[in-house]
Structure 1
Amino acid sequence: MAESERANDLRQTFNLKPFFQRASEAEDRLSRLEAALASKKDTGNEENLKMISELQSKLEDANAQLISEREKSQKLAEENAKLQYRIHHLVRALKETHHEQ
């Protein structure tokens, strides 16, 4: 019985050999695909990081420009207030001189 069991085991082993070979080949293909996918992810991540860096740089430039424009606007508003004050006093002085005549 032991010999017939061994013979049966050997036949089953030989019958399973093609399946093991195909499974091994599938595992190899899967490993290559995973490696290719990982390298694409790395490339994609590098591109994304580059794009994020560029966008951050543009945002910083825009913020700096916004601050500069706000400062200019504030200076113009102050100058406008001074001019309005001068106009008010000039108009009042003109009215006073006109009433005196």
Structure 2
Amino acid sequence: MAENNLQEILKPFYHRASEAETRLERLEAAIASEKNSGNEELLKKVGELQSKLDDVKAEQASEREKVQKELQQLNTENAKLQYRITHLVRALKDTDSQLQSK
């Protein structure tokens, strides 16, 4: 369940990275087919897209790390609350049995 949440949170980043890779592939194909004077401009665009792709990947890794930390904190808090519930239920049962025995 937590893995699904993580995947849903990261889905937009995967989508953006995929789009950037597609654009990069198209530009690389254009460079390979056109060896004209426009190569420098295309190379510049390819470099910019590669830079953007690297930025998106770094952002994605950062978001994944944040989500994992938050998930770990939530799991820890959940375990604490379950522990408290267990002891509260036990105390309630003890109190009920003491009241019934009187």
TM-score range, shorter chain: 0.5 to 0.7
Give the number of the structure with larger relative contact order, counting CA–CA contacts within 8 Å between residues 6 or more apart.
2
Q: Does 1:53 align with 2:79?
A: yes
Which has the larger Rg? 1
The runs of at least 4 aligned residues of structure 1 exceeding 6 Å deviation read none
| 1:36 aligned counterpart, secondary structure | helix
Q: Does 1:28 align with 2:54?
A: yes
Unaligned residue ranges in structure 2 (runs of 5+): 1-33
Unaligned residue ranges in structure 1 (runs of 5+): 1-7, 77-101
**TM-score of the aligned structures, taking structure 2 as reference length:** 0.64
**TM-score of the aligned structures, taking structure 1 as reference length:** 0.65
Quick one: percent identity of the two aligned structures?
Answer: 12
Normalized per residue, the structure richer in helix is 1
Aligned length: 69
Letter of the structure 1 residue corresponding to residue 61 of structure 2: A
Letter of the structure 2 residue corresponding to residue 44 of structure 1: E
What's the RMSD between the two structures over aligned residues?
Answer: 1.1
